[in-house]
């Protein structure tokens, strides 16, 4: 029998800071305790949420069933030679802490992903990305508990089926795998990725022409802090909507009416539109609706000013979706997951 905690307050475990109560909660740090907990979940048919850093979740007030938090820790270098370094990290490690640790160790590739909230185990689920880099670029493989077979399995990059803010864990097989350890393929030689215009411009503006890894890491932190709210200060779940990808003809249709539209060519004959721009143009930036609202420095981020609830936030999200659809004919998809559905 696992020692579940009852009626646990998860206010500090979701970055929106909603007051949420879990019927049962358990933190696990060994496969054995995970197996026992899952056995009970299955025997009792409890709904189950695997909780990471809680930074990409919109939780309702009460979570019936069970919540399991994976607490595997540790950063280990498995291979380190001239051409490659493979590092294995526990799913329960804090993502930003891990990126900082790699910087200290002189292992490179993830600097552009500094300051993304959440845990390592959640990062592959939505293939986190920022400033021209996404997790998939440095991903090697992972170890997960497969609830279907009851075994620990190793999944390669191909098997994870990464896409824009997407993976097998999100789309094709949600709920099947519990990510336990993640391995990254890094390099001891630093090669800056400055493909994101804003990053390059920022570095030039502070007089850095040939940035080292610390410069890039620091610049990313500073840009994020200037544009995105810190969850411990203002509750939020990062980008609340995905940037919509539309066929070229639709892009041209919108561009004709709105010449300042921000968009980037995407996969063949498609464009990725900046959802933040669409929401901003629809007049939502800085809007408040009771305790929730739209962040005043980045319209793509919805915030909880304190005391807000899931219902309030989803009502606001729906109003924004309707207004963007009405104005531009584009439908916005939510990025964070709502639980329970």
Stretch that binds ligand EPU, among 17-25, 171-179, 203-211, 277-285 (CB under 6 A): 277-285
Contacts of 298 (CB under 8 A, 6+ apart): 227, 228, 276
Point out which span in 1-9, 14-22, 202-210, 269-277 binds ligand EPU (CB under 6 A): 269-277
For residue 58, the minimal CB distance to ligand EPU (Å) is: 13
Question: According to CB under 6 A, which one of 192, 238, 293, 308 is a site residue for ligand EPU?
Answer: 238
The answer to whether residue 335 is catalytic is yes
Q: Which residues contact 68 (CB under 8 A, 6 or more apart)?
A: 25, 26, 27, 28, 34, 37, 38, 41, 48, 49, 50, 51, 178
Residue 303 binds ligand EPU, judged by CB under 6 A: no
Structure tokens at 189: 């030689």
Could you tell me the smallest distance in angstroms from the CB atom of residue 312 to ligand EPU?
Answer: 20
Give the length of the chain: 341
Task: Using CB under 6 A, pick the residue from 144, 285, 308, 320 that binds ligand EPU.
Answer: 285
Q: Is 337 a catalytic residue?
A: no
Token representation of residue 34:
């995970």
Q: Are strands 57-59 and 48-51 parallel, antiparallel or unpaired?
A: unpaired
Site for ligand EPU in 80-139 (CB under 6 A): 130-131
11 is a catalytic site residue: no
Q: Which is nearer to ligand EPU, 27 or 323 (CB)?
A: 323
Here the tokens at position 64 are 């019936």
In the complex, minimum distance from the CB of residue 336 to ligand EPU, in angstroms, rounded to a whole number: 8
Distance CA 91, CA 83 (A): 26
Of 8-16, 27-35, 59-67, 294-302: span binding ligand EPU (CB under 6 A): 294-302
Buried b (16+ CB within 10 A) or exposed e, 134-163: bbbbbbbbbbbbebeeeeeeebebeebbbe
Catalytic residue among 69, 141, 167, 239: 239
Asked whether position 250 contacts ligand EPU by CB under 6 A, the answer is no
C-alpha dist (Å) from residue 150 to 84, 144, 286: 32, 10, 47
In DSSP notation, 283-316 reads T-TT-EETTEEE-SS-TTEEEE-SS--HHHHHHH
Catalytic residue among 165, 167, 183, 309: 165
Q: Whose CB is nearest to ligand EPU?
A: 238
Nearer to ligand EPU by Cβ, of 141 and 298: the residue is 298
Reference 303, options 239, 203, 236; nearest CA is 236
Q: Which stretch binds ligand EPU (CB under 6 A): 24-32, 65-73, 96-104, 271-279?
A: 271-279
CA–CA dist 6, 301 (Å, integer): 32
Contacts with ligand EPU, residue ranges (CB under 6 A): 130-131, 196, 198, 227-228, 238-239, 242-243, 262, 274, 276-277, 280, 285, 298-300, 335
Which residues are tagged catalytic?
A: 165, 239, 335
């Amino acid at each position: 029998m696992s020692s579940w905690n009852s009626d646990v307050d998860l206010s500090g475990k979701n970055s929106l800071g909603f007051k949420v109560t879990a019927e049962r909660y358990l933190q696990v740090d060994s496969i054995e305790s995970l197996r026992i907990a899952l056995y009970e979940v299955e025997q009792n048919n409890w709904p189950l949420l695997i909780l990471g850093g809680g930074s990409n979740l919109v939780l309702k007030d009460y979570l019936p069933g069970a919540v399991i938090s994976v607490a595997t820790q540790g950063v280990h270098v498995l291979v380190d030679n001239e051409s490659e370094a493979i590092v294995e990290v526990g799913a329960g490690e804090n993502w930003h802490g891990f990126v900082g640790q790699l910087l200290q160790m002189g292992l490179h590739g993830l600097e552009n992903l500094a300051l993304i909230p959440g845990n390592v185990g959640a990062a592959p689920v939505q293939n986190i990305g920022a400033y021209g880099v996404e997790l998939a670029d440095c991903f090697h493989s992972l170890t997960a508990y497969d609830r279907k077979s009851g075994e620990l399995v190793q999944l390669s990059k191909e098997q994870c089926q990464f896409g824009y803010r997407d993976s097998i864990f999100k789309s094709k097989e949600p709920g099947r795998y519990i990510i336990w350890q993640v391995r990254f393929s890094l390099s001891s030689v630093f090669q800056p990725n400055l493909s994101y215009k804003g990053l390059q411009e920022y570095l030039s503006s502070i007089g850095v022409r040939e940035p080292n890894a610390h410069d890039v890491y620091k610049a990313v932190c500073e840009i994020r802090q200037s544009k995105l709210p810190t969850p411990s200060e203002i509750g939020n779940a990062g980008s609340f909507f995905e940037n919509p990808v539309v066929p070229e003809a639709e892009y041209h249709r919108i561009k004709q009416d709105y010449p300042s539209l921000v968009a980037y060519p995407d996969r063949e004959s498609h464009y990725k539109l900046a959802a933040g721009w669409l929401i901003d143009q629809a007049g939502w930036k800085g809007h408040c609706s009771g305790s929730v609202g739209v962040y005043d420095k980045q319209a793509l981020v919805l915030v909880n000013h304190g005391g807000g609830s899931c219902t309030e936030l989803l009502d606001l999200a729906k109003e924004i979706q309707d207004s963007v659809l009405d104005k531009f004919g584009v439908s916005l998809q939510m990025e964070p997951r709502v639980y329970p559905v």
